[in-house]
Amino acid sequence: MIRATCRFSTGTYTARAQGKTASCTQSAEMAVRALARKLGYSDATSLKQIEAHDCFTVWRLKEVEESSTASKEHSMQVLNLALRIADASVRTEIECWAFWKEHGHHNVYDTSKPCQDEKATPEDNAARLKAVADALLYIDLRGDAFPWRLVRDPSFPNIVHFEEKS
């Protein structure tokens, strides 16, 4: 069992323990889970917030004993579900967070610019561009796995649009 601290600053949760750090923008728990993986803990690690202070939280990480077959089956279920969720939502990451405009019969996205939102902070825009970059990488890594294709403008590779496959 180890103790980890997690702080929130400028839109990012940062977890620390045993000289390692992990950061995440979604939640303190996700940052602590990422830290647990860095420390060699499995996804079956039990996390519990044990203290809450104004500036930080303290968490307890404890490995949960499971039979190896049940653990592997559970891990495969989690991975398969994560893959289905990622496949279903990756296009939306670009459609929501990249700058877009109508062009003929489809929308065109500039993946080097965030969507227009006058209330967005520079940190918001940086997070949006990171989500778009992650989505582009995921699409490239998954290859031809989708019912649509991402088409890049040959002259301007940051300009993309989607085409449905026939």
Nearest Cα to Cα of residue 45 among 19, 20, 75: 75
* Cβ-count burial 60-90 (b if 16+ within 10 Å, e if not): ebeeeeeeeeeeeeeeeeeeeeeeeeeeeeb
Inter-CA distances, 119 with 14, 91, 113, 126, Å: 25, 24, 15, 14
Higher pLDDT, 20 or 163: 163
Q: What is the mean pLDDT of residues 83-88?
A: 93
Burial of 18 by CB count in 10 Å (0-12 exposed, 13-18 middle, 19+ buried)? Answer: exposed
Structure tokens at 103: 């062009």
First-to-last alpha carbon distance for the chain, in angstroms, is 54
Model pTM score = 0.57
**Residue 156 DSSP label:** -
Residues 6 or more apart whose CB falls under 8 angstroms from that of 131 comprise 93, 97
Q: How confident is the model over 101-145, as pLDDT tens digits?
A: 998 888 999 999 999 888 999 999 999 999 999 999 999 999 999
Give the pLDDT band of residue 64 (cuts 50, 70, 90).
low
pLDDT for res 158: 96
Residue with the bigger pLDDT between 147 and 34: it is: 147
pLDDT tens-digit readout, 40-56: 777 656 777 777 776 77
Tens of pLDDT, residues 14-44: 888 888 888 888 777 888 888 788 877 776 5
Domain boundary assignment for the chain: 2-62, 68-164
